[in-house]
């Protein structure tokens, strides 16, 4: 059995001084969320947090 395909999201980083705004967009649903974190956190951590927030929003919308 093939492995389940992971969803693909669009991620955008905007540096604002010592902070970074990270936006995550799901092209299938059109949902977008943003987070702001310290630039020192690193892209992987910021991406993970933005994707988790997006997935929570998608799950919440499916329950409605």
In a domain, 22, yes or no: yes
**Domain hosting residue 58, numbered range:** 10-63
Tell me, letter by letter, the H, E, C secondary structure of the chain: CCCCCCCCCEEEEEEECCEEEEEEECCCCCCEEEEEEEHHHCHHHHHHHHHHHHHHHHHHHHHC
Q: How many domains does the chain have?
A: 1
In a domain, 28, yes or no: yes
The confidence score (pLDDT) of residue 4 equals: 77
Q: What is the pLDDT along the chain (64 residues), one digit of tens a residue?
A: 567 788 899 999 999 999 999 999 999 999 999 999 999 999 999 999 999 999 999 999 999 8
In a domain, 2, yes or no: no
Q: For residues 42 and 60, what is the distance between their CA atoms, to the nearest angstrom?
A: 28
The confidence score (pLDDT) of residue 36 equals: 98
Count CB atoms within 10 A of the CB of residue 45. 13
């Amino acid at each position: 059995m093939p492995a389940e395909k992971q969803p693909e999201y669009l991620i955008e980083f905007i540096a604002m001084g010592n902070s970074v705004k990270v936006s995550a967009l799901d092209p299938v649903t059109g949902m977008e969320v943003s987070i702001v974190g310290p630039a020192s956190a690193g892209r992987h951590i910021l991406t993970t947090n933005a994707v988790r927030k997006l997935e929570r929003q998608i799950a919440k919308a499916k329950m409605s």
